[in-house]
Amino acid sequence: KAGVTQTPRYLIKTRGQQVTLSCSPISGHRSVSWYQQTPGQGLQFLFEYFSETQRNKGNFPGRFSGRQFSNSRSEMNVSTLELGDSALYLCASSSTSQQGIYGYTFGSGTRLTVV
Amino acid sequence: GESVGLHLPTLSVQEGDNSIINCAYSNSASDYFIWYKQESGKGPQFIIDIRSNMDKRQGQRVTVLLNKTVKHLSLQIAATQPGDSAVYFCAENNAGNMLTFGGGTRLMVKP
């Protein structure tokens, strides 16, 4: 089955602009999580959406936001971009069983460069 | 959760040898662990997972060992191949659908 699809793959934006990234989860997965990956900080959790509701949130400023649609597709938005927002943004989808989460699968990411 | 990310140790092994990558996790309440492989320009790729009610799990050429007493996780790769060269991350889950990642280990396989 198709994996997690993220678009676009690459983006270059100017400081102060805003950006929207898109993620389509694996069919049947209702949970979508977003992560930021940088060389200095590694992989850090941004937020998680389930059934169109944000369930968990990491320690990022309010400039970072997201949403999820009824088909489980998710978008994340970063407003007023800063140079430090340059990173690989990863989306992961997962499902849940009685044992807990499973199938935690990442997309290839969107490489955002802020200039 | 915590993020351990500044130092990226490197493990260099000869092709055909076994590799062992170690990870110390942070939360004793974590009950699910995953190993990921990440190649340059790609997202993390699932390798193997283990739940806290187990101490060992085997896959194809890979074995994960979990020691809850010392909060330690290891990934063993048998007969390491050049295609195994990548950065390997351990991740722990202790709440919701959020993973906390270790800093990663770079595996280099010498032909």
Q: Write out pLDDT tens, residues B40-80.
A: 989 999 999 999 999 999 999 999 999 999 999 999 999 99
Query: What pLDDT is stored for residue A98 in this prediction?
Result: 75
Percent of chain A at pLDDT > 90 equals: 87
Cβ-Cβ contacts under 8 Å, A56 against chain B = 95-98
pLDDT for residue A58 is more than 80: yes
pLDDT averaged over every residue in chain B: 91
Q: Do B99 and A104 touch (CB under 8 A)?
A: yes
Tokens encoding A41: 């900080």
pLDDT for residue B95 is more than 90: no
Exposure class string for B52-81: b at 16+ Cβ within 10 A, else e: beeeeeeeeebbbbbeeeeeebbbbbeebe
pLDDT for residue A94 is more than 50: yes
Please state the rounded mean pLDDT for residues A96-111.
88
Query: What pLDDT is stored for residue B74 in this prediction?
Result: 97
Question: Residue B7's pLDDT band (boundaries 50, 70, 90)?
Answer: low
Percent of chain A at pLDDT > 70 equals: 99
pLDDT for residue B2 is more than 50: no
Q: Do B96 and A105 touch (CB under 8 A)?
A: no
CA B66/CA B23 separation, integer angstroms = 10
* Residue of B8 and B79 predicted with greater confidence: B79
Please state the rounded mean pLDDT for residues A26-32.
94
* Residue of A2 and B11 predicted with greater confidence: B11
| CB-facing half-sphere around the CA of B18: CA atoms within 13 A | 8
Which of A33, A41, A106 is facing B97, going by the closest CB pair?
Answer: A33
